[in-house]
């Protein structure tokens, strides 16, 4: 049942995100109410993904070396930092067009190299594929990127601090859930 919930959650996540790209007229016709519907679908998808991932039986596919955990942890710092680039409006906001999708790709790769079980491969592999496809769809729809004009002088520093704090919080949540991200 765990794998079924995981796959349903992933499909719902991808469908809710890609809907705007593949059916822009239909999404626009939904108006502001559509935002609530999409948000509810994304919330449901996250719940299904979490329940499915936690409930999936452990099926080992490969055995990553223990030192991959350390690479995962370093990559996760970059993922947190990348996720906040757009909001921080520092200099890096003018260098990375899709900072949140870049963060998802880093997060997925980091977890794929540190986890060798089937549920992890399904979850993180599908999220990596979704993030790559989403970037392609966005770039196709809007080929010319207008870099942000507003730059905050200390935006990158604030982002680094916030990213480090969030990293510690998320690592703590992993520990509370019985997953030890530091080996």
What confidence score (pLDDT) does residue 24 get? 85
Q: What is the pLDDT of residues 54-88, one digit of tens each?
A: 999 999 999 999 999 999 999 999 999 999 999 99
- Whole-prediction pTM: 0.93
Token pair listed for 125: 């592999």
Helices and strands: H and E segment counts in the chain: 7, 0
Which residues fall within 8 angstroms of residue 113, CB to CB, at 6 or more apart?
A: 64, 68, 71, 72
What confidence score (pLDDT) does residue 48 get? 98
What confidence score (pLDDT) does residue 13 get? 98
What confidence score (pLDDT) does residue 122 get? 98
Token pair listed for 73: 């942890």
Q: How far is CA 70 from CA 31, 166, 176, in A?
A: 45, 18, 19
List 117's β-bridge partners, or say none: 60
Within 10 angstroms of residue 180's Cβ, the number of other Cβ atoms is 10
DSSP 8-state class, residue 92? G
Q: List the chain pLDDT tens, one digit each, 183 residues.
A: 999 999 999 999 999 999 988 888 888 888 888 899 999 999 999 999 999 999 999 999 999 999 999 999 999 999 999 999 999 999 999 999 999 999 999 999 999 999 999 999 999 999 999 999 999 999 999 999 999 988 998 999 999 999 999 999 999 999 998 888 887
Within 10 angstroms of residue 76's Cβ, the number of other Cβ atoms is 21
CA distance linking residue 107 with residue 40, whole number of Å: 23
Altogether, the residues listed in the chain come to a count of 183
CA distance linking residue 150 with residue 35, whole number of Å: 26
Token pair listed for 136: 């392609």
SS3 9: helix
């Amino acid at each position: 049942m765990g794998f079924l919930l995981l796959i349903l959650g992933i499909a719902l996540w991808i469908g809710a995100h890609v809907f705007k790209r593949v059916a822009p007229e239909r999404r626009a016709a939904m108006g502001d109410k559509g935002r609530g519907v999409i948000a509810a679908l994304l919330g449901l998808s996250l719940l299904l993904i979490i329940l499915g991932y936690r409930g999936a039986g452990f099926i080992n596919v490969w055995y990553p070396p223990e030192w991959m955990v350390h690479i995962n942890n370093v990559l996760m710092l970059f993922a947190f930092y990348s996720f906040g680039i757009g909001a921080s409006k520092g200099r890096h906001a003018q260098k990375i067009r899709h900072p949140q999708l870049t963060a998802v790709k880093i997060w997925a790769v980091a977890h794929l190299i540190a986890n060798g079980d089937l549920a992890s491969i399904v979850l993180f592999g599908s999220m990596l594929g979704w993030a790559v496809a989403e970037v392609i769809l966005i770039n196709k729809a809007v080929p010319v990127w207008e870099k942000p004009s507003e730059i905050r002088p200390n935006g990158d520093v604030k982002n680094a601090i916030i990213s480090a704090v969030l990293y510690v919080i998320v690592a703590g949540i992993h520990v509370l859930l019985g997953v030890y991200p530091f080996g």
